[in-house]
Copies of this chain bind each other. A is one copy, B any other.
């Protein structure tokens, strides 16, 4: 994508984050969201805020970039006329949102589906006014400042010193997934649940005193697409459970602070 083009897309991502954030803020910590359970899955609570925030983003994209397609959590996808797709999750971390915990995020990704490359990823937290923006091949930003954290293989991280995190153990659905999660839990220094997209931005920011491993399954494309440029932009690793690059069909995610740690986690997964 050309320079002026990516600039336009960054501006649009920021506009989408502003618009969805303004809606979400109105509904945070307000009871009676009329949450509606579509299924019994953990990810199935849909709130009014979710729907309205997504609708607002879709309306803006249709107006500002009518040739771009949309892959979305709530509504029907919209085909692309130019190969670019916006991948939207208005509230990642609905569980935290409905409990009034400000550790959810709006995920806004932009991909070129021809070659499956996420070009841009934005995580927006409207309550704490925190925004992460990753551009493929560039260092990512936190609130418009370049993230001052670069992971390399210079540090020989070990799983035994790592914090393993997953949003919920209930995302490990199959016996195979449960066995893998249990194996990794046993090796890592500690395991913490909860967090959703905040686990990934925490890893990117280097907030934790421990190296981090994130193991998740049962995810959809909109749950992780926007995170890829942010994680990769700081030199950390995000792949599927076989170590392959993520694509729109991936559901099992493994992220780690560096390649050394990622390789160790992969070894446990594949053992």
State the oligomeric state as a number of copies.
2
Distance of A174 Cα from B209 Cα, bound (Å):
30
Distance of A189 Cα from B190 Cα, bound (Å):
29
Complex contact B190–A168 (CB within 8 A) = no
Of residues 180 to 219 in A, which have CB atoms within 8 Å of B's CB atoms? 189-195, 198-199, 202, 205-210, 212
Given contacts A190-B45, A194-B194, A205-B29, contact A102 B102 (CB under 8 A): yes
Complex contact A209–B29 (CB within 8 A) = no
Distance of A163 Cα from B169 Cα, bound (Å):
16
Complex contact B163–A198 (CB within 8 A) = no
In the assembled complex, A101 has its CB within 8 A of some CB on chain B:
yes
Complex contact B194–A31 (CB within 8 A) = no
Residues on the B chain within 8 Å of A198, using CB = 99-101
Residues on the B chain within 8 Å of A209, using CB = 31-35, 47, 98
Complex contact B96–A189 (CB within 8 A) = no
Interface residues of A (CB under 8 A from B): 29, 31-35, 37, 40, 42, 45, 47, 95-96, 98-103, 128, 163, 165, 167-170, 189-195, 198-199, 202, 205-210, 212
